[in-house]
A = this chain, B = another copy of it.
Amino acid sequence: MNFKSIPIILTGVILALFVLFSGVSIGQQTHLDNVKQARNLDDDDVLAAIKTFMPRGGRDEYFAFAGTGNSGTMVVYGMPSMRIYKYVGVFTPEPWQGYGFDDESVLMLKKGSLDNRVYGYGDMRYPAFSETGGKYNGKYLFYSDGANSRIALLGLDDFETKQVLMHPLFISTHPGVAVTENTEYVIQTSQYPTTWDFRTADMEAEYDSKFKSGITFWKFEDPDHATESGHHIGRMIKDESFTLELPPLTMKYFDTGRKSSHGWVVGLADKDGKSYVYAVNYPKLEGLTKKTVNLTSVVTTSDAVAAGAVMLIEIPSGAKKVKTTPDGKYFIVANDEALVMDYAKLANAATGNAIGGIPVATYDQFLDGSVKLGNQVHDIAFDYRSGVAYASAFGDKKIIRWNYDSKDVESELALSFPPSELMTPQGLSAEPHSNYLIAVDKEGQYKNFVNIGPVRPNFQHLIDISGDNMKDIYTMSVPQANLYGSVSVLRTTIKPIIRYALGTNTRTGEISPFKTVAGQEKIDREGNRVHVFGTMIRSHITPEIVEVNEGDVVTFHLTNLERAEDETHGFTVGTYGIHGSFEPGKTASLTFTADRSGVFPYYCTEFCSALHLEMEGILMVKPKGFKGEKGEVELTLTPEQLVGYKKNYEDKLVVIQQTQDVINSVVTWLKENNYQDYSYVEALVNDAFDQLALAKTAEENHLKYAEEGKWKDAFLWAEQYWQYQVKTADVGLRAQTLLKEKLETKGAE
């Protein structure tokens, strides 16, 4: 050993210590390198991988909800894992959840349609969360439908669409929505001007006189008391809403003020090749007299002007967005040169010429400053750091980090694609969050992504903005969506439920009048109207046979009796096109005309867990006028069949005893381990015993029929009793598993 080697050795020691303390074991490292090499990953890829990888049981930091364009379906995903959690039908029927299939959701969609149509698509681009004090409260989400002029409300306790309304005046609607800072109003605007009188008009000569635009303030009420089922469901109240009538402006993206700018709505509009920001102060509109058009309250332009509630601000053309800063001080017009405009100066505007009676101001009098950002700037987003904002430059393929206070460009990130929409978590609230930026990429170019035929997905890119150098770390493909803006909230702000109160109509939150509990299943007939009150529980649909006549109008009212987590049952009648999805506790109804005769099996279309057998039954539709091949013949059981049923009954009694043994052992264990101390476990146990109590009738019946030698009836009732038992056993076992976990972990999430 000579002295020259000492520095090398020292370096070695330092590195060795480094490795030893780094938590990466040597064998692991070797394997990791093999994988890196085999998959052609570089160091940046490895870092990106571990920034986004979500192990089993892990939790994302944020929930994100995407504007999905013409799919009409909400997409929920997690950040930073970028895994898609759920698709939820909003403007488009969706069979997996039975949306637009059961009577309850169809009724809701028809209420949201002026002519009773159920539309099959929408165009939803910019959702908005409900807010309290300018902050996301995690309760509701709103979407506007640009294609069919609707607005939708989703409840975030169960991620379901709760209300859809069709606009009474707008034929063309901007596909974005914004709320005021306490969700007093949900705001929607028109997009392309149209007539409001169902008449045509000349596009040139009559444009200014006949074509109209508008802004609608949908009054929103969030009940402070729960509904019968324990649900909180807010509502937009049509009768308390109003629309501001405007001259024919092509209306684009808009936003609301907050804090000191609460009360303002600012949006982009075009007319005759010129571009404007419209600024509306809605509290000034609330007290004005309304005229009624199409049963809708309308504030006329002239009344609004007289009240000083509306103005237009002429701006350079090409702007794509206008957004309020998190502090509420500015509204920023996103353009190649971004305009930082001061809300405080709006009150004292000097105006010039008027358009349709609305005064027009020049933008420079509101300007706090401007910043040259790039080419074809498409969107801006805000950071939690004071004054920090981001811009997407479509033409330059880059993201610009800049500061709207200092008016400086701070840094840039070059991308391999032209970015369009941007999103930061909670970035459209008074409380922007976190270190992530989402950029939308609408070009599924072959060089960047695998070829999957002529139409490709859009992409959400996750950009790490935590450090001085922004990094594009994940490319997420979003299928079945034409992506626009997303909104995102801290995951823990949303408090989803696990199951519904038994018998819930999930669209209204009320307990359904058709709720049916075990043992009370029945078939009611009145003339050609048949109501089936049925239940679903692993692994049984009750009743098992339904006989109707061709031409009858039939409704299956079904209740999922399950209390277990994620124990949804589906229901379909083969070739009848009748379908529903029943989450635990849900009651829904499926109405149809029995217009085809024959034998139609119905079955559960959702895999239902460990005790799964195919849940099935039979719908018999007797042909009109058909009396049987030999006329009306009463069919009786043969002696052989009777013997068969006796054997079936006796076999079932053995199974019943075995199942009871399981129940007894679970109950003993639960009692020994004080299940009452854990309210969630106790609820499960009580559910289980409730069911078993209802089963008493079934037990009495099978014993009675057995005594009378009526083996078929005895067997069927024994079967029914066993179904309750199985449910009791299963819930008991789940309670036991849960309690074991609780005891082990002392109740950690």
Contact = CB atoms under 8 A, between A and B. Distances in A.
A635 B120 contact: no
Contact of A57 (B159, B416, B581): B416
A655 interface: no
Contact of A50 (B41, B477, B623): B41
A41 B447 CA distance: 32
A454 B568 contact: yes
B50 A52 contact: no
B86 A457 contact: yes
A442 B204 contact: no
A699 interface: no
Contact of A499 (B171, B454, B609): B454
A13 B8 contact: yes
A640 B707 CA distance: 100
B601 A192 contact: yes
Given A115-B596, A205-B635, A574-B172, A56 B19 contact: no
Contacts of A85: 450, 452, 457, 477, 479
Nearest to A41: B50
A408 interface: no
A22 B482 CA distance: 42
A43 interface: yes
Interface string A147-172: 11100000001111000001000011
A497 B453 contact: yes
Interface in A646-687: none
B445 A565 contact: yes
A51 interface: yes
B149 A575 contact: yes
Interface in A49-72: 49-60, 69-72
Nearest to A71: B96
A484 B22 CA distance: 42
Interface in A475-516: 475-477, 479-482, 484, 491, 496-500
A206 interface: yes
Kindly name the residue among A19, A119, A497, A603 whose own CB sees the greatest number of chain B CB atoms within 10 A. Answer: A19
A121 interface: yes
A623 B199 contact: yes
One complex includes copies of this chain to the number of 2
A693 interface: no
A455 B506 CA distance: 12
Contacts of A146: 574
Given A94-B480, A454-B584, A119 B59 contact: no
B545 A203 contact: yes
Interface stretch (A76-84, A325-333, A339-347, A718-726): A76-84
Nearest to A605: B70
Categorize the interface residue count of chain A: 35 or more
A184 B681 CA distance: 56
A554 to B, nearest CB: 14
A35 interface: yes
Nearest to A616: B192
A9 interface: yes
Contact of A55 (B23, B48, B70): B48
Interface stretch (A24-32, A279-287, A384-392): A24-32
B598 A194 contact: yes
A741 B447 contact: yes
Given A32-B47, A52-B53, A200-B597, A95 B70 contact: yes
B201 A599 contact: yes
A579 B121 contact: yes
A540 interface: no
Nearest to A80: B39
A265 B241 CA distance: 65
B641 A69 contact: no
B607 A420 contact: yes
A129 interface: no
Contact of A601 (B97, B158, B194, B575): B194
Contacts of A84: 84, 477, 479
Interface in A580-639: 581, 583-586, 596-601, 603, 605-607, 609-610, 616, 618, 620-623, 626, 635-638
A626 B477 CA distance: 50
Contacts of A205: 635-638, 641
A168 to B, nearest CB: 11
Nearest to A122: B95
Interface string A701-726: 00000000000100000000000000
A563 to B, nearest CB: 11
B97 A95 contact: no
A364 interface: no
27 contacts: A9-B12, A12-B14, A13-B16, A15-B19, A22-B29, A22-B33, A32-B46, A35-B50, A40-B58, A41-B55, A54-B475, A56-B475, A60-B450, A85-B479, A93-B120, A119-B577, A172-B601, A192-B601, A199-B597, A200-B597, A205-B636, A376-B610, A395-B610, A453-B496, A454-B566, A454-B586, A455-B581
Given A41-B53, A49-B53, 11 more contacts: A13-B16, A18-B19, A28-B46, A35-B51, A46-B50, A53-B53, A72-B95, A84-B479, A87-B479, A420-B607, A442-B607
